[in-house]
C-alpha cells in the first residue's frame, strides 16, 4: 500500500511539475522575440540578447542601449526592416563580433514578463559582463571586449569595468555613443517622475522627442527605418528609476530621494577604477547637450584614469622619468580628448540608417586603432605596459 501511495504521489508531483514546465515553455515560446533573440537571465535578472558572430580573433562589441530602449535599436529585426539600416550589420561586415543586451523594461509587446523596479547599475554591469563571458566561451572568441554604451548606457562604464575583472574579461575600452556619464548634476538630479503601477518610472513624455529624431533619420535615409507603431510597441518601454541617474531611487515599493546611493551605485567617483573611454561625438542641435558636453565630461574620467591607474597604479615615479618623457605624458593627457574621439554627423540616433550605421562602424574601427596607439605611446613614456 505504501509503495502504491508513493507511486501515486510521484505521478501527481511529476504531473504538476510537467504542467508547470509546459506552461513556462509555452509562455516563452509565444514571447514576441525577433529573429535571433534569446530571452535569458544573468546576475539574477532577465535580459534579451542577440549575438552576431564575426571573426573569432577580433573584438567582441557589447552594445548597451540607453534610457527606455531595447538593444534592438542597434540591430532591428521587425517585419520590413532593412539590416543595412542598423549598426550590427556593418560591424559584422568589419569582422567584429556583436552582442546586444536589452536590460529589463516594461515593453508593450510583453517581452519581459515581470517588472524589475529595483534593478540597479551594479546589476546592469554584472549582467552585461556575465552575458559577455557566455558569448566568449560559447563562440570561442579570442579578441578583447569593447563595451559600447549609448545615451543612459553611460551609467554602466564603471560597473561593467568592475564586473569584467570579476569575469576575467579583457575589457579593451568603453565607447561612448552620445552617452551620459555618472557625474552627479550632468542631468538635473531633482527631476520628478511618476511611479507606475509596475514600480517603474514613467518617461513617456520624452518618447515623442525620441521618435522625432528617428523620423529625422528616416527622412535622411529616404525611407521609414522604424514605423511609429512598431517603435512604441517593440523598441521602447518603462524602466527602473535606479539606472536613470537622478536623485530618486526605488525603495520598498516607493520612490525615495537619495543622491548618494545613486552616486555610489553608478561608481561616479571610483576614479581609480574606470576603463579608458573613447567617444563618438555627434553634432545635431536635436541633441545639443551631448554635442556640447560629452567631450569634456568623459575626458574628466580619462585624465583621472591616466593618473590613478596608469601612473600611480603602476607605481610610476614622475620625478624619476626623463624630462622629455614626462612632458610627453602631460602633452598626451592634455590632447587626449581629440586623440580618443571621432566626430560624426547626426542626432542622438546617429547610428540609425544605412549611412549613419556604416559611418559609425567605421568610427569604431578608427577608435580601436586610436586607443591602442594612445596606450602604446603612454606605455613608452612611463616605461610600463598599460591596458
For the chain, give every domain's residue range. 34-382
- Cell 532593412 locates to 82
Distance separating alpha carbons of residues 349 and 211, to the nearest angstrom: 10
| 34-382 CATH choice from 3.40.50.1820, 3.30.70.890, 1.10.340.30, 3.30.450.20 | 3.40.50.1820
pTM: 0.91
Q: Report the mean per-residue pLDDT for the chain.
A: 92
pLDDT computed for residue 387 by the predictor: 85
Tell me the pLDDT tens digit for each residue of 173-212: 999 999 999 999 999 999 999 999 999 999 999 999 999 9
Task: Check residue 326 and give its pLDDT.
Answer: 97
* Secondary structure element (H or E) that encloses residue 148, with its range: strand 145-150
Provide the phi-psi class of 100: left if phi over 0, else alpha when psi is between -120 and 50, else beta: beta
Look at residue 31 in the predicted model and tell me its pLDDT.
55
- C-alpha to C-alpha distances, 277 to 168, 183, 287, 342, nearest whole angstrom: 19, 14, 20, 12
d(CA 363, CA 165): 26
Q: What is the mean pLDDT of residues 263-290?
A: 97
Amino acid at each position: 500500500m505504501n509503495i502504491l501511495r508513493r507511486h501515486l504521489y510521484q505521478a501527481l508531483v511529476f504531473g504538476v511539475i510537467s504542467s508547470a514546465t509546459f506552461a513556462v515553455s509555452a509562455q516563452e515560446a509565444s514571447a514576441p522575440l525577433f529573429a535571433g533573440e534569446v530571452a535569458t537571465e544573468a546576475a539574477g535578472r532577465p535580459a534579451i540578447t542577440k549575438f552576431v558572430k564575426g571573426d573569432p580573433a577580433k573584438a567582441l562589441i557589447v552594445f548597451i542601449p540607453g534610457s527606455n530602449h531595447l538593444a534592438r535599436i542597434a540591430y532591428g529585426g521587425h517585419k520590413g526592416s532593412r539590416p543595412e539600416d542598423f549598426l550590427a550589420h556593418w560591424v559584422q561586415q568589419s569582422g567584429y563580433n556583436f552582442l546586444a543586451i536589452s536590460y529589463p523594461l516594461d515593453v508593450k509587446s510583453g517581452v519581459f514578463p515581470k517588472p524589475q523596479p529595483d534593478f540597479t547599475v551594479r546589476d546592469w554591469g554584472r549582467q552585461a559582463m556575465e552575458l559577455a563571458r557566455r558569448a566568449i566561451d560559447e563562440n570561442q572568441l579570442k579578441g578583447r571586449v569593447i563595451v559600447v554604451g549609448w545615451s543612459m548606457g553611460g551609467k554602466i562604464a564603471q560597473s561593467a569595468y568592475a564586473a569584467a575583472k570579476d569575469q576575467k574579461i579583457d575589457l579593451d575600452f568603453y565607447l561612448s555613443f552620445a552617452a551620459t556619464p555618472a557625474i552627479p548634476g550632468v542631468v538635473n538630479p531633482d527631476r520628478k517622475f511618476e511611479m507606475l503601477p509596475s514600480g517603474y518610472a514613467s518617461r513617456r513624455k520624452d518618447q515623442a522627442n525620441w521618435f522625432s529624431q528617428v523620423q529625422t533619420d528616416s527622412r535622411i535615409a529616404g525611407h521609414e527605418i522604424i514605423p511609429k507603431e512598431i517603435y512604441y510597441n517593440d523598441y521602447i518601454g518603462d524602466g527602473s528609476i535606479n539606472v536613470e541617474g537622478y536623485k530618486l531611487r526605488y525603495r520598498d515599493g516607493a520612490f525615495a530621494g537619495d543622491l548618494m546611493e545613486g552616486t555610489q551605485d553608478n561608481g561616479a567617483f571610483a576614479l581609480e577604477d574606470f576603463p579608458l573611454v573613447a567617444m563618438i561625438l555627434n553634432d545635431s542641435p536635436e541633441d545639443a547637450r551631448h554635442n556640447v558636453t560629452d567631450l569634456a565630461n568623459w575626458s574628466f574620467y580619462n585624465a583621472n584614469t591616466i593618473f590613478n591607474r596608469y601612473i600611480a597604479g603602476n607605481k610610476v615615479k614622475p620625478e624619476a622619468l626623463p624630462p622629455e618623457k614626462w612632458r610627453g605624458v602631460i602633452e598626451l593627457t592634455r590632447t587626449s580628448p581629440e586623440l580618443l574621439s571621432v566626430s560624426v554627423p547626426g542626432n542622438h540616433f546617429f547610428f540609425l540608417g544605412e549611412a549613419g550605421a556604416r559611418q559609425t562602424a567605421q568610427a569604431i574601427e578608427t577608435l580601436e586603432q586610436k586607443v591602442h596607439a594612445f596606450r602604446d605611446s603612454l606605455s613608452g613614456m612611463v616605461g610600463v605596459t598599460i591596458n
